[in-house]
Amino acid sequence: MTGTSGSPVLEVDDLAVQFTRRGEQPTRAVDGVSFSVAPGETIGLVGESGCGKSVTSLAIMGLLPQRGVQVTGSVRLDGTELLGAGPRTLRTLRGKDMAMVFQDPLSSLNPTVTVGTQVTEVLAEHRDMTGRAAQDEATELLDRVGIPDPRRRLGEYPHQLSGGMRQRALIAMALACSPRLLIADEPTTALDVTIQAQILELLRELVQGSGTALVMITHDLGVVAGLCDRVHVMYAGRVIETADRRPLFATPRHPYTGGLLGSVPRLDTGRGTPLTPIRGSARDTIPWSQGCAFAPRCDNAEDDCLTEVSGSTVPLEADGLRRELRCRHPLHATPAAAGAPAGATAASSAGASAGSPSTGSSSWSSSEGQQS
Amino acid sequence: MTVTTPRPGAGRRDRIDELAARAGQLSDGDGGESLLRSAVRRLRRNPVAILGAVIVVAFLLVALFAPLLAPRDPYAQSLLSEVRQGSIPGSRDGYLLGVDQLGRDVLSRLLYGSRQSLLIGVVSTVLGAVLGMALGILAGGLGGKVDTVVMRFVDILLSIPGLLMAISISVLLGASQLSLMIAIAVTQVPVFARLLRGSMLVQRDSDYALAARALGVRRRRIVFGHVLPNSLSPVIVQATLSLATAIIEAAALSFLGLGDPDISRPEWGAMLASAQSVLSIRPELAIYPALCIIVVALGFTLLGEALREALDPKFRR
Ligand SMILES: Nc1ncnc2c1ncn2[C@@H]1O[C@H](COP(=O)(O)OP(=O)(O)OP(=O)(O)O)[C@@H](O)[C@H]1O
Ligand code: SF4
Ligand SMILES: [Mg+2]
């Protein structure tokens, strides 16, 4: 679907998640999302809070609650269908073939159990390692993610570690079995800016060369610029624009993507130039069945954004250049006219990528040049 | 009865659920300090906690060292010859609190009585906690239909007032110390079950449980290795409070003649009961054991409430 060569590690096809609460209208948190990730590839899932990024990742991992949730579509890991697979099958895949790193490293670790126990637990579960061998391997794993004095750290409790070290420990656990797929759900949001850069760099190093496919969930475009090969922008449960990183930053075509880029301060624009945040909030939305969900906040909106054309409201269409777009009146109708957003790094992203040589430069496009 | 005994029915359930839910926020942690250490620190600053702890420690010491502390043999009817119709010897040299209607030293009997209270309180609370926790783990760990069935049963038990149930069971099992302990334990079972289950449900939804599931850790391990240890703090609080309830219930049952058939054994409830017949002559004989019961129960209650506060993230500074 995304045109990646080679057989993909993860293929998500028309994934939809619907929550049904008693006495409430069912809500579609994820609505027909499709993407795939090749071995060694890093994709970004980007969007505002509440757009369905986490629900998408939990659906892939089979971690959504059983009750009150309907998941449809298809999720294939190395060709094996995961939706509808039994709990035992899923459990053996989790941690071994697919793993996940969460946003808050403190709450993701059990406060009453030592770090060592939590690391060796994974080794016992998937690699049949116990006792000394597990201890040694755990030490090795912590060492590999850059935790100093790993043997001592194994005996410590999570609260004795710094935020960055906790996230490193969690990454070590996630990568303990060299999974084929790693999903990182905003892994740096809860961390200090300088630590963010280190963690991203670590993820990049670990994933590079190992052939692990990485799904990076974030709302920070700096993270995307530093890390992702391909980007899927989500809005209200749907993918609204998909493109390779470079063209996406150079010429965002969806007004929402453009808004995301425009609401971020750049170094190369004058100090007086006002930022242009997206109007309204994520709550100002309409159901996709009635038209474009972004319409209430969109400057380009016209009447046909809210009507059905040939049986569908605003479909996701491919342009033949590895870009897909869900918009009736996109930005940059002629790509040549689109020089503007080739700007520089966001304040947050500048910090986030400070430690990463690939993004330390002053503009999106040159940062890409360096990295590729 | 007292502040420690939750009223039957909905109020009681709500209280348990609130305790469970609040404790659930515990593991959110406060970054630097360990949960235990900060709880201890706050306990030591709390005068209520200190008062409770002093009472409880004193009670424990008295119970442990009663044979050393008691000035006389609690069974010896040493002043029986001086007991007359309408007059029982009061305080005098060597008999600080006087004697009872059988001429036995009241102080010694009170000191020895603490042992019965402690024994019954601890055994019945431990028994009730173990059984209740087993049910709680079953419900909270497995969920689904097991949870529904177990909790239905537990809620029925909860809806029966504790003392009423204890009396019924004691009557059924016949008066003995063991049946007394079983009866009190049974009244504790639903409290612990509901509390632990509620607390486990909160922990099961926690980030670290999700993270462990994302790593493919099996359910048994998550339940026993992660969820359960984090769900125990409200149980510890409840156990402290339950000791108070158990001591009161034990006294009440003995008072009603449902305790140890050997009525010569010093026991506060039984002492209270036998003092009834001489209430008009020596009301102190009833007042002393009653005071003991109240003070000890109060001590455990204060300590329990202080513990709850110390472990409650809402009161964190
Ligand atoms: N268990 C649930 N029951 C009902 N609705 C839910 C549930 N979990 C998530 N949702 C809804 O699904 C939508 C998407 O949530 P999701 O957590 O995926 O957002 P997100 O993109 O990860 O946002 P954030 O950046 O804040 O993490 C939200 O509107 C949320 O209200
Ligand atoms: S479809 Fe219309 S409303 Fe939606 S983003 Fe495009 S122009 Fe705006
Ligand atoms: Mg999220």
Q: Name the residue among B155, B157, B129, B121 with its Cα closest to residue B235.
A: B129
Q: What is the pLDDT of residues B58-81, one digit of tens each?
A: 999 999 999 998 888 888 887 777
Q: What is the pLDDT of residues A39-48, one digit of tens each?
A: 999 999 999 8
How close B144 gets to chain A, by Cα (Å)? 10
The model's pTM: 0.81
C-beta separation of B288 from B111 below 8 A: no
Ligand 2 environment, Cβ below 6 A: A 254-255, 292, 294-295, 298, 300-301, 305, 314, 327-329
Q: What is the pLDDT of residue A193?
A: 85
Of B32, B207, B230, the CB nearest to A104: B207
Which residues does chain A have within 8 Å of residue B218's beta carbon, measured at their own beta carbons?
91, 125
Q: What is the pLDDT of residue A313?
A: 74
Q: What is the pLDDT of residue A337?
A: 41
Q: How confident is the model at residue A353 (pLDDT cuts 50, 70, 90)?
A: very low
Is domain A1-97+182-250 in CATH 3.40.190.10, yes or no?
A: no
Question: What is the pLDDT averaged over residues A339-354?
Answer: 39
B76 in a structural domain: no
B82 in a structural domain: no
More confident: A54 or A369: A54
B87 pLDDT above the threshold of 80: no
B257 in a structural domain: yes
Q: Which of A31, A51, A235 to mutate to test the pocket of ligand 1 (most atoms within 8 A of CB)?
A: A51
Q: Find out whether the beta carbon of A18 lies less than 6 Å from any atom of ligand 1.
A: no
Helix (H) or strand (E) holding B154: helix B144-159
Q: Do B216 and A173 make contact, defined as CB atoms within 8 angstroms? A: no
Chosen for mutation from B26, B199, B208 (greatest number of chain A CBs closer than 10 Å) is: B208
- CA atoms of B123 and B121, how far apart (whole Å): 6
In chain A, what are the domain boundaries? 1-97+182-250, 108-176, 278-371
Q: Name the residue among A297, A275, A280, A282 with its Cα closest to residue A347.
A: A275
CATH number of the domain encompassing residue B266: 1.10.3720.10
Mean pLDDT over each residue of chain A, to the nearest integer: 83
> Taking CB atoms and an 8 Å cut-off, how many pairs form between chains A and B?
86
B16 in a structural domain: no
Of A108, A125, A159, the CB nearest to B208: A108
Question: What is the pLDDT averaged over residues B255-273?
Answer: 87
Q: What is the pLDDT of residues A231-273, one digit of tens each?
A: 999 999 999 999 999 999 988 999 999 988 877 666 665 566 6
Helix (H) or strand (E) holding B39: helix B35-45
B315 pLDDT above the threshold of 60: no
Q: What is the pLDDT of residue B313?
A: 62
Question: What is the pLDDT averaged over residues A154-165?
Answer: 91
Q: Find out whether the beta carbon of A53 lies less than 6 Å from any atom of ligand 1.
A: yes
| Least trusted range by pLDDT, from A6-20, A199-213, B34-48, B148-162 | B34-48
C-beta separation of A127 from A173 below 8 A: no
Greatest CA separation for chain B = 79
Ligand 1: centre distance to CA A301 (Å): 26
Q: Do A95 and B206 make contact, defined as CB atoms within 8 angstroms? A: no
- Partners of residue A80 on adjacent β-strands: A77
Non-local (6+) Cβ contacts of B126 within 8 A are none
* Residue A52 CA, closest ligand 1 atom number: 18
B29 in a structural domain: no
Non-local (6+) Cβ contacts of A58 within 8 A are A64
B25 in a structural domain: no
Q: What is the pLDDT of residues B102-127, one digit of tens each?
A: 888 889 999 999 998 899 999 999 99
Q: What is the pLDDT of residue B21?
A: 77
Counting residues of chain A whose pLDDT is more than 90, the rounded percentage is 51
Which residue's CA is the closest to the ligand 1 atom numbered 11?
A29
Domain that holds residue B272: 34-66+101-315
Checking B253-259 for CB contacts under 8 A at 24+ apart, the result is B253/B166, B253/B167, B253/B170, B253/B180, B253/B183, B253/B184, B254/B180, B256/B167, B257/B175, B258/B167, B258/B170, B258/B171, B258/B175, B258/B179, B258/B180, B258/B183, B259/B175, B259/B177, B259/B180
Q: What is the pLDDT of residue B48?
A: 92
Q: What is the pLDDT of residue A351?
A: 38
Q: What is the pLDDT of residues A290-334, one digit of tens each?
A: 889 999 999 888 888 888 766 667 788 887 778 999 998 888 765
B167 in a structural domain: yes
Q: Find out whether the beta carbon of A29 lies less than 6 Å from any atom of ligand 1.
A: yes
Of B28, B35, B216, the CB nearest to A92: B216
- CA atoms of B130 and B122, how far apart (whole Å): 12
B9 pLDDT above the threshold of 90: no
* Residue A256 CA, closest ligand 2 atom number: 5
Total structural domains in chain B?
Answer: 1
Helix locations, A33-97, DSSP H:
53-61, 87-93
B317 pLDDT above the threshold of 50: no
Name the interface residues of B facing A (CB cutoff 8 Å).
Answer: 27-29, 31-35, 206-208, 210-218, 221, 225-226, 229-230
Q: Find out whether the beta carbon of A50 lies less than 6 Å from any atom of ligand 1.
A: yes
Q: Do A111 and B230 make contact, defined as CB atoms within 8 angstroms? A: yes
